[in-house]
Amino acid sequence: MQDFDTLPLVNRRSVLKAITLGAGCALLPTSLGFATEGWTLSKEDEAFLDDLERQGCLFFWEQGSPNTGQILDRARNDLTGARDPRRMASIASTGFGLTALCIADRRGYLPHDQVVERVKTALHWHLNSMPEVHGFFYHFTDIETGVRYSGSELSSIDTTILVCGMLTAKAYFDDARIRSMAQQIYERIDWPWLLNGGTTFSMGWQPESGFLSARWEHYCELMMIYLLAIGSPTYPVAPSYWANFTRPVVHFNGHRFISGNDPLFTHQYSQAWFDFRNRRDAYADYFANSVAATRAHKEFCLSYPKWYNESYWGISSSDSENGYTAWGGPPRQGDLDGTVVPCAAAGSLPFLPADCLAVLRAMRARWGERAWGRYGFVDAFHPAANWYDQDVIGIDQGISLLMAENLRTGMVWDIFMKNEECARAMNLVGLKKQAPSAMPAGSESRSVESR
């Protein structure tokens, strides 16, 4: 197997940015509500989720550096406690990891004093030693030195994920140093700089060539970027920028939801931290939108009965036999081949809990050690091809365990929203709790036909 450190640097957005998108905007109704109302976890569900979270937290602990607090982008899933020898850290993995440490502390998975020390180390390193430009960090760096990997960009979305993790730690730990360092890192980010004179944010910047041409201009995981920028106490952008990204609407098998031509993770990431439950703005109830997107995704998978069924479904950007792939649907993205990606269902646990839990538990029960190792599920697998990924990826483990905890207790939502800047930003863009409203006739949409 080729060492990942020698592979070209790719990320989800570099894979996706060439996809052509519709530009329609529309109002969507609030018709689905909070998906867990009237539904409870069984003891077996709780036991499964506890395993998923405990083992996910173990990844972020063992594959993090005690010297810098950075966390590897990926690691093998058959290790026995040692850190993977690969040295590529990911700031997004670190952001998920800081939140994971809060969960690990709350649930007693790791010793409290050690967790606090690791969090302080991470914050101190990123505040004082980690290379940054206008407050933004490079996507991939050496885990011990912080040196940028060649070709890696200053990343707007990955810096945002990192800061979401830091703000979670700030609100969770009763520690003045943690609060101060996390706030300083957030406050030095120059959000208007990354607009580069435009009305939407650039996806990043490279020292060799300047700003990336790709922009955060259509609905996806971008909501967290805009909300942190609008809520910034030092370098804010105006709340009106919330209206600048488009919200195209997809139709599939009777489901109607806002979505770009993107995989399922785009409906999950912002909602791992920001609590969108029972809120809507002038356009949509985004929590209900993610419920609809998840239901449509399941039906999309089941429309390929050669590959998928009730006990085996879920596709999102992931490893594959042929390398990292951005795939999913609806509409169909990538060269689907029957591979399943566990974080697709795990990242949607709060949106469609019964269905997502059923498929996750069924896959673990059937494929056991081939699909589940020290850190939980491997990133992807394809039993018909006898292919089981050797690795886990930090961001996929992260969205899985954060959403598992949000399903169980709402902890990440509750803690993160204690940051006054985050709550204020949601109010500034009009995301307030209110009664459902109907979708006006004649609103723009685009259709995706089912197979």
For each successive 10 residues of the chain (451 residues), what is the average pLDDT? 39 48 40 56 97 98 98 97 97 98 98 98 98 98 97 98 98 98 98 98 98 98 98 98 98 95 96 97 96 98 98 97 95 96 98 98 97 98 98 98 98 98 98 59 32 31
Cα separation, 374 vs 88, in Å, equals: 20
- Residue 10's pLDDT is 46
Cis peptide before 330 (omega within 30 of 0): yes
H/E/C letters for each residue in 333-395?
A: ECCCCCCECHHHHHCCCCCCHHHHHHHHHHHHHHHHHHHEECCEECCCEEHHHCEECCEEEHH
- Residue 4's pLDDT is 33
Q: Residue 142: what are its φ and ψ, rounded to 5°? A: -70, 135
424 is a domain residue: yes
Range of the domain at 184: 38-433
Give Cβ neighbours of residue 210 (< 8 Å, ≥ 6 apart). none
- Taking residue 87's Cβ as centre, other Cβ atoms within 10 Å add up to 20
- Residue 433's pLDDT is 83
279 is a domain residue: yes
E-only strand ranges, 255-320: 255-258, 279-280
Cis peptide before 207 (omega within 30 of 0): no
Cα separation, 109 vs 57, in Å, equals: 8
Total domains, the chain: 1
438 is a domain residue: no
- Residue 432's pLDDT is 87
213 is a domain residue: yes
354 is a domain residue: yes
* Tokens encoding 91: 């700031």
13 is a domain residue: no
DSSP type of residue 436: -
CATH number, domain at 399? 1.50.10.140
Cα separation, 50 vs 41, in Å, equals: 12
What pairs with residue 328 in β-bridges? 333
292 is a domain residue: yes
32 is a domain residue: no
